[in-house]
Every structure is written in C-alpha cells, then in structure tokens.
Chain A
C-alpha cells in the first residue's frame, strides 16, 4: 500500500470483508444509539429547562413497562452481536485442513519465518494469493503478537507454546506486519511486510532462493544429531515410542488420560517429557528445555509432523473420535 491517503484499511484476505461487515453493523448500532441518547438528552434538557428558581420536577418514579423494554431491546441486539461475532471468530480460528504451513518465531525484536521448503526470511513473509496459509507461531523470549491489519488477523506468540493463525490472501500486494503485544524497547520496530504474490510469481520466488535443505530434512538431521533416533526407532523397537504417524492422533498416557498429539503436545514432550509420559514407556527421556533453540525446535516439529506412514507397531493409538476443543 502506502502513498495514498485513506481512512479505511485495505481488505486483502478472504476474511477481511466478513470482519468489516460486522464492524459496519456495530458502527450503525452505535451511531443510532448515540444519536438517540444525545438527541433525547438535549431535547429534554431544553424543553424542560427550569423557568422559575423554585420549580421542581414532576414526581415520576419510574415505569416497569419502559424498564422492561429498554432491558430487552439491548439484550436482543447484544445477542445478535454475540452470535455474529462468534461465527466470524470460528472462521478466523479454524484453518482449512489443506492449508500451506509456515513456521514463525518471534524474538526481540524480529519475526523469523521458515517455510517447509527451507526458505527463511526475517521481518518478511511471502505467501501466494488464493491459498490458505497456516502460521505456526512461537516465541523465543517474551509474548509478542503477529498482526496483519490488511488480513484482519492477529495471534499472540507465547513463549512455551505454539499458536496458530491462518489467512488466505485475496489480493497481491505488500502489507504491514506488526508486533501488537508490547515486548520492550524496540516493540514499535518489530515490524515487517507480508508480500502476497500471484501463485506463479510465488513459485518463482521459491526457486530464486537456494535453501540448504527443506525444513523437514533439517529436522531429520537435528533428530539424528540430538540423539533422538537412538530411542525413537521408526519401527517401534526402541525404548521410546515410534513417532511415525503420531501427529494429530490421540495418545494414551501413563496416568490413563488421552491427549491429542498436536503441536503443543509435541513441544512439551520435547522440552519437558516428564509432564506427560506415554503409556507403556519409562520416563527416561531427558528434558531439552534450554538445550534447543526455538528455530531447531521448529525443524523438529516439522520433521515429526512429516512422518506420515502408518505405524507398524507404535504407541497405542486408540482411535477414539471427538477431539475436544483444544488450544488452537
């Protein structure tokens, strides 16, 4: 964008229009009630102004009918807003299954992005138009928030967690990227650009850089280097469960509970494995908290998620349905 004077932000994602419609509806309600209240106050104050110094007002104490009306109407309008706002939120919160994934790490004071292809960028994010993109976001130090106003999307980058956000760019262009959660001295400098490109140009961009390897191949190397392979054998013959096909499946824990192996679970199991131990295994694994950088953790997660073959003899993967509404 840039250069043109406007009082309304660009709509550049498939969701932006939906958010704006809700905004216009609420703006209309606000305008209506503000004008009604202001109009009434001024009219009544003028019409019933004190004429003689010792005038008193009429002895009116209230009216139950009126009170019921002006409780019920705002309640009704509020419920419309609630339902509408919630439905927009569901759409904003739930990424389509086929979304392209990019890993984002926030760090004072920059945004690092890693594509599955191995491309890395700082304070920039290149994405294709017309493809849903899912960002997996974490932080190396304090809380940040990844915010793209043109897409009407934002999510906190919380240390110790992986949060997700998704969007589908609808218009090629370069858009502002901000950190929206106060994070210290250069908070207002933690900004960048999101570049939405036509798919063909995006492919060109991808072939332009020369990444050392894909994200999963770096993850595989990391997996070997850190010695994970010695216990987590693919065929399940190690002292630890095989990680093949684990991602996204429910896992039975030693304490009898069941946990969905999502990003948060994998992250926790690497950094602090004792927190949730898989049923049938000893709590042998060392904690990697403080041993592994956020960037390398990202490659490991990408690698584990890529292990899609069905497990020959893996951890007991019960197929109970109904994933509870977990952290998104």
Chain B
C-alpha cells in the first residue's frame, strides 16, 4: 500500500479534511477537561507546557538582561536569585521533562503502534491534572514571592538557610513527578500489550523505542527524587536531621539522592528528542535509519548507564578518590551510545532523497548542537578538567547545548513534522524555515560565549561579576544579544503554527510522503485513530522495495 509514494502536495486532487475527527467529534469544555482521548490530552499538555515555556523564557530574558552589565543594577541580588531559580524549575520540571513525552508521545505512541488509545486513558487524564496541580503550586510560589534555592535545592541551604518558599516548591515538583511516573507506566504497558497485529518489536519505530527507554527512567528514577524532596520538606519543617550536619545529617547525601534521579532525568529530556530526530531524518531522506538495531539498543544503553553516572556532579565535594575515578569512567562510557546515534543519523543521509524542509532543518540543527553539547560533556567527565570548570558558565553552556540545543530543537522539529497530523492543516514553510535559521543562529550566539566565559572562570548563579574582567562583559553582552535573537526565533512558530491551525490549507493524510502507521489515518485522525485496525506487514521505514 505504500511502496513508492507520490508527494500528495503535487497531485491535482487537492487533499481534504475528514468531516469528523478527534477535534470536532464532541464539543464543549467538559468534552475536553474530562476527555479520555490521548490526542486531546496531548493538546491539553501542549497548551499548558507552552504556557510554562513562555514563563520560563521571560525569566531567562531577565537573567540575560541583568548580566549584560557587570554591576547588579537591574534586579536586586535576592530577586535575581529567585529569577534564575524560577527559570530552572519551570524549564526543567515543567517544560523539558514533559515536552516531548507528554505532548508528542501522548499523541503518537498509540498512533504509531496502531492502537486505539493508551492502556490507561483515565490515568493519562489524571497525569495531566497532577501536572497542572504541580504547576499551580509553582504559580502560587511565584505569586507569594518566589524561591531562591536554585532548581537543585542543595542542602543545607534549602533546609536551614533559605527564607523563601522551599516547601511549596518542593511539593509542586513532587506532585508533577507523579505525572511523569504515570505517563511512563502508561507508555510501557501500552507498548507491551497494544501493538497492532504484525507490529513486532523489531518493526517498532525508533520514536517508540526511545519512549520505551524514557519510560523506564521515569518509573525507576522519579520516585527517588520524590522521596528526596520529601526529606527536604521534613528537615525544613520538623528538623529531622537528614542533610544538615547540625542535626546530625550529611549535606552530600542530598546530592547523591538528587543526582541519582536528576542525571537520568537529563536523559528523560533528550532520549525522546533522539526518537523524534530518527523519525524526521528517515522521513526526509526517505530511507530506513542506518543501523536501526544499534540506534534502538543505544536508547536502552543510555537509559541503563545513565543511572550509574550521577557522581560526576560531585567531583568537587570531596567524595573519595576511588568514587570520583569510577564515576568519571562510567561517564565516558555513556557518551558512546550518543556518539553512535550521531554517526547513524549522518549515515542515513547517504544516498537518501533529502528534502530540507523545516522539520529537517531542525533535525540537522539538533545534530550539530547535540554533537557540541555531548563532546563538551567529556570535558566535564575528565575530572582534572572538571575541577576548574565545575559550577562555572562552562557547565551552563554544556547543558544548554544538550538540553536546549537537543531537547528544544527536537521538540520544535517534531512539532513541525506532526503539526499537519495534529491539526490537519499545513503551515507556511517559508516562515518555518526562517524561524529555524533564526533559532540556530540565536542559540549559538547565546550559548557559545558561555564556554569561553566559563573557562575564564566566571561562576554560575552570579548576580554581578567583577568589572575589571573586561572580556567577561563582552562575552556576556554577546550572550544577551543572542538570547534576544533566540527569543524572536521561538516566538515566530507560536504565530504561524497557530495561524495554520485555523487558516492553513488541508494537509491530507500524508503531506510528507512519510512511512509509518500515523500517516495512514486521516489528518486529523478520528477519535478511534483508525477506521480499521491496521495490519503491519513491513519493517520500519519501508520506503523502497528490497533490492535483491
């Protein structure tokens, strides 16, 4: 049925939108707030996650504005600390972690495996309510005056010294964490039990593999951070001595517990992104992903080794020399599966039929930025070098390259790629290409100078910096200017994607000529996803008949 596809955009019979689909099947607010349709829940997440992204972005701009001059002249020190904390908490817990799994994953996991819905539709809806409850705690904190611990909540500062709203923030992250645990559980059960006939494990799209690996981390890791945050709350309110040495605790214990979750958490952010990139690269080269098996296994490898490297956040805390060396070694190992993926994506282009439309531009941007982000991770894993750059802007640059350059670009690429499926409409390709280029340029201008700044020795989380370091201001100004460009690049999609959703031309079921079950149903899909349950007879990414 889908051997060699013709690009339906060119065919004379213009594509149409089906009369009834998941968006218009039922009406009224209740039909959305009590929906059990994974696609509608995905849209609920889309609206709320985007709102949080906007909030986090405003805080980011405040941070960059403040640092444009060495003197702390725009915000007070206390406000600045609250602003960067709010930026971190919102971006990590309310944007990066849920963005791809909760929006794209929710929408696509059942579609891609030929299922009618997720295994537990009610739990899926409950997950969104948990996420929103956690978010409301966060909003309450902001209204009441903020929190200043940094998103890492290091003790004993958070339990004994900070006089801001630590407890409420920790509870917010705690509640949002359960949303993540339930989503992971839902994905795993769905992938195990609800695949369409013929959708064997070795035919699963790589997007599904990456979500499978991510779900494992969500289920195994998130409870640990939940317990850790509860310990912070208990020490702060009841003075139970877990972390504060005055109460008989150990401050470094917190860091172990926190990073045991939070390092794997960076893979919760980036693994789904890798899944998105695999789909886009295949579709826009019209070729199977090079080394499908290795790419799938690399996802699992990253998820597993990712649990063993948390100690690399603590090289300067006086952990034992042996522990430091072990964690360094394991950190280098986890880089290998990431390297494999980069090479595989690149090789996929070879003898492909490559179309540089906006999703592909994002994917290519991702490959470049992720390569730099991953390689600079090696600088931090080499202990002798980490001692110098730890807790400086070098680290800030590194994790923004992987998390923003990786996760955000993959998210944007995926949003563009599946937007016609989600809304049934086509957006303006010239605008989309323009904004992809602006994002790429703005991103590099923002974060590249921070590597230099970090090696020069500028510590992170500084509200002001010594004016006699002339180059520091130059680098900071470049970074702040880049942030403004990046902001424009991120704002444009908000406009043209929204516009397209209402005014765009009908997309038809498969505007990209892509392969995959999600492209076989209508755009937008019906509530039950498929008119008849599909039967899969071909491997993943079957673009051309076997040449034997």
Chain A interface residues toward B at CB < 8 A: 1-9, 18-19, 22-23, 26, 29-30, 33-34, 37-38, 40-41, 44-45, 48-51, 53-63, 66-67, 70-71, 74-75, 78-79, 81-82, 84-93, 108, 141-143, 145, 147, 149-150, 152-156, 158-161, 163, 176, 178-189, 191, 272, 289-290, 325-328
Out of A56, A60, A180, which one reaches B350, CB within 8 Å?
A: A60
Contact A33 B371, beta carbon cutoff 8 Å: yes
Contact A180 B161, beta carbon cutoff 8 Å: no
Size range of the interface on B? 35 or more
**Bound CA span A179–B10, Å:** 62
Contact A152 B318, beta carbon cutoff 8 Å: no
Closest to A85 in B: B382
Contact B322 A159, beta carbon cutoff 8 Å: no
B383: chain A residues at CB < 8 Å are 85-86, 88-89
A160: chain B residues at CB < 8 Å are 245-246, 250-251
A141: chain B residues at CB < 8 Å are 156, 160-161
A272: chain B residues at CB < 8 Å are 248
Contact B316 A154, beta carbon cutoff 8 Å: yes
A-B contact count (CB 8 A): 326
For window 343-372 of B, CB contacts with A under 8 Å fall at 343-344, 346-347, 349-356, 360, 364, 367-368, 371-372
Give B511 Cβ to nearest chain A Cβ, in Å: 12
**Bound CA span A74–B371, Å:** 13
B32 at the interface (CB under 8 A from A): no
* Known contacts A7-B471, A26-B382, A61-B292: A187-B81 contact under CB 8 Å: yes
Q: Give per-residue flags for B1-35: 1 if the beta carbon is below 8 A from chain A beta carbons, else 0.
A: 00011110110000000000000000000000000
Give B307 Cβ to nearest chain A Cβ, in Å: 19
Contact B391 A181, beta carbon cutoff 8 Å: yes
Out of B77, B319, B332, B352, which one reaches A82, CB within 8 Å?
A: B332
Contact B342 A185, beta carbon cutoff 8 Å: no
List, sorted by A's number, 11 A–B pairs whose CB atoms are closer than 8 Å: A3-B470, A23-B379, A41-B346, A56-B353, A58-B287, A60-B287, A142-B161, A182-B150, A182-B460, A184-B161, A185-B78
Chain B interface residues toward A at CB < 8 A: 4-7, 9-10, 72, 77-78, 81, 148, 150, 154, 156-157, 160-162, 244-246, 248, 250-252, 285-288, 290-294, 315-322, 324-325, 328-329, 332-333, 335-336, 339-340, 342-344, 346-347, 349-356, 360, 364, 367-368, 371-372, 375-376, 378-379, 381-388, 390-392, 452, 455-457, 459-466, 468-471, 474, 513, 543-547
Closest to B324 in A: A89
Out of A81, A155, A156, which one reaches B332, CB within 8 Å?
A: A81
Contact A41 B322, beta carbon cutoff 8 Å: no
B372: chain A residues at CB < 8 Å are 30, 34
Contact B387 A188, beta carbon cutoff 8 Å: no
* Known contacts A37-B367, A158-B318: A70-B340 contact under CB 8 Å: yes
Give B44 Cβ to nearest chain A Cβ, in Å: 35
